[in-house]
C-alpha cells in the first residue's frame, strides 16, 4: 500500500531522529527551534544530489542517504565547523519503502556517528532528488574561508586523490580490476567520509581551505581566485591510494587525481610559520596529510613534475551549465 507524505515522515525520519539538547523543537512542527551555543557563530551549507546527475538510478539507496549527508558535512569540515543539525528536502517519484529504508539507514548511520540531529525537512513527489542543509558552529573568527591564502603558504591535502573518479571511470568503462581494489574505490565513491575532525583540529593553522568536490584543480582554483593568488602543484607528490596505484595507468592517473571530482578530501593552505605545528597536530589524527605545492603571487595555476617540467591536463573541473564552446 502506498504511503502518504506524513506516513513517510513519521516512519522513516521522525521516528529515527535522536534528540540533541540544543534541539528545542524538532521534526513535527512548522519549524524547528534550535539553540545556538552562546558565543559561537552558525555555519550553514546546502547541497543537492539529483538522480542521474550526481548518482545513477542504480546506486544503492543506503549509499545515496550516506552521501547526501556526507557531502554537506564535508562543507562544514572545510569551514572548520562542528556539525549539529541537518534538514532534508526529499523529492521521490514514488513511496518505495525498500528504497526509503535503505536511504534512512545510510543517512542516520552517518548522522549518528557525527552526533547530527535531523530537525526538519520537506517531502514531495517528483523526479528523485535529495537536498540536505547542515548547520554547525565555529568560534567567532575561527572559520576557514577560501579568501585567506597568501604567497608562500604551503598547500596540503588530506587522504588520497582520484579514488572516486577512478571508481566512476571503472564503472563507466565496465573495466575489471582486482576485487579488493575495486571494492575500496567504490566505497570512496559511494560512501565518502567527511573530514570533520581534521577540519576542527587544523583550522587554527590554515589560512584558507576548501573541500574537494569538483576536483583539485577546479577547487584550488576557487581558493586562488578568492585569495587573489596562484599556485604551483607538485604532481608527483599527489597522494594516491594503493588501489589507485594498482588500477590507474600513468597519464590517466594524473588526470583523475587533478581533475576527478567526488573525493571530499580537504585542501588547506598553511603559512610557513604554522607548518610544524600543523604536522604535529596531523600526527595525532587518523588521516594522511600531504604537502602538494605552494601558493604563488602570480595568478596562474601550474602543475609541475619533480624535474621542473610542466604537466598539461585535458579538460578542467566539473561544472554544471558549462557550454561546449567553453572548451
Counting residues that bind ligand ADP (by CB under 6 A) gives 13
* Shortest reach from residue 299's CB to ligand ADP, in Å: 43
Largest alpha-carbon pair distance within the chain? 66
The residue (of 3 and 59) whose beta carbon lies closer to Mg ion is 3
* Shortest reach from residue 90's CB to Mg ion, in Å: 11
The residue (of 81 and 118) whose beta carbon lies closer to ligand ADP is 118
* Shortest reach from residue 95's CB to ligand ADP, in Å: 12
Among 122, 236, 251, 298, binds ligand ADP (CB under 6 A): 122
Among 52, 94, 112, 122, binds Mg ion (CB under 5 A): 122
The residue (of 13 and 137) whose beta carbon lies closer to ligand ADP is 13
251 binds Mg ion (CB under 5 A): no
90 binds ligand ADP (CB under 6 A): yes
102 binds ligand ADP (CB under 6 A): no
- Which triple of cell numbers denotes residue 55? 548518482
The residue (of 120 and 148) whose beta carbon lies closer to Mg ion is 120
The residue (of 9 and 69) whose beta carbon lies closer to Mg ion is 9
* Shortest reach from residue 90's CB to ligand ADP, in Å: 4
Confirm if 147 and 94 have CB atoms less than 8 A apart. no
State the binding string over 34-73 for ligand ADP (x if CB under 6 A, else -): ----------------------------------------
Three-point CA angle 285, 113, 318, nearest 5° = 75
88 binds ligand ADP (CB under 6 A): yes
CA distance 37 to 258: 39
243 binds ligand ADP (CB under 6 A): no
Residue nearest to Mg ion (CB): 122
121 binds ligand ADP (CB under 6 A): yes
The residue (of 46 and 313) whose beta carbon lies closer to ligand ADP is 46
Point out which residues bind ligand ADP (CB under 6 A). Answer: 9, 13, 27-30, 88, 90, 118, 120-123
Amino acid at each position: 500500500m502506498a504511503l502518504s507524505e506524513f506516513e513517510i515522515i513519521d516512519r522513516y525520519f521522525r521516528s529515527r531522529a535522536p534528540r540533541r539538547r540544543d534541539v528545542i523543537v524538532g521534526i513535527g512542527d512548522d519549524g524547528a527551534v534550535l539553540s545556538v551555543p552562546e558565543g559561537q557563530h552558525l555555519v550553514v551549507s546546502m547541497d543537492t544530489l539529483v538522480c542521474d546527475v550526481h548518482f545513477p538510478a542504480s546506486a544503492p539507496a543506503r549509499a545515496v542517504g550516506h552521501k547526501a549527508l556526507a557531502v554537506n558535512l564535508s562543507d562544514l569540515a572545510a569551514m572548520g565547523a562542528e556539525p549539529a543539525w541537518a534538514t532534508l528536502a526529499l523529492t521521490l517519484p514514488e513511496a518505495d519503502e525498500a528504497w526509503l529504508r535503505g536511504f534512512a539507514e545510510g543517512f542516520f548511520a552517518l548522522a549518528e556517528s557525527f552526533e547530527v540531529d535531523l530537525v526538519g525537512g520537506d517531502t514531495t513527489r517528483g523526479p528523485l532528488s535529495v537536498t540536505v542543509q547542515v548547520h554547525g558552529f565555529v568560534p567567532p573568527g575561527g572559520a576557514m574561508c577560501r579568501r585567506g591564502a597568501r604567497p608562500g603558504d604551503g598547500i596540503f591535502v588530506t587522504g588520497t586523490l582520484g579514488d572516486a573518479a577512478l571508481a566512476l571511470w571503472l564503472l563507466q568503462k565496465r573495466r575489471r580490476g582486482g576485487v579488493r581494489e575495486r571494492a575500496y574505490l567504490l566505497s570512496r565513491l559511494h560512501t565518502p567520509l567527511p573530514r570533520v575532525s581534521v577540519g576542527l583540529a587544523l583550522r587554527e593553522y590554515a589560512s584558507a581551505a576548501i573541500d574537494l568536490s569538483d576536483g583539485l584543480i577546479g577547487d584550488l582554483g576557487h581558493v586562488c581566485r578568492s585569495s587573489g593568488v596562484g599556485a604551483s602543484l607538485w604532481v608527483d607528490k599527489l597522494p594516491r591510494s594503493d588501489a589507485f596505484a594498482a588500477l590507474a595507468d600513468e597519464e590517466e592517473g594524473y588526470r583523475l587525481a587533478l581533475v576527478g571530482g567526488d573525493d571530499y578530501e580537504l585542501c588547506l593552505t598553511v603559512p610557513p610559520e604554522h607548518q610544524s605545528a600543523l604536522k604535529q597536530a596531523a600526527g595525532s589524527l587518523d588521516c594522511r596529510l600531504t604537502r602538494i605545492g605552494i601558493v604563488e603571487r602570480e595568478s596562474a595555476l601550474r602543475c609541475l613534475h619533480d624535474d621542473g617540467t610542466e604537466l598539461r591536463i585535458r579538460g578542467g573541473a566539473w561544472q554544471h551549465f558549462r557550454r561546449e564552446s567553453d572548451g
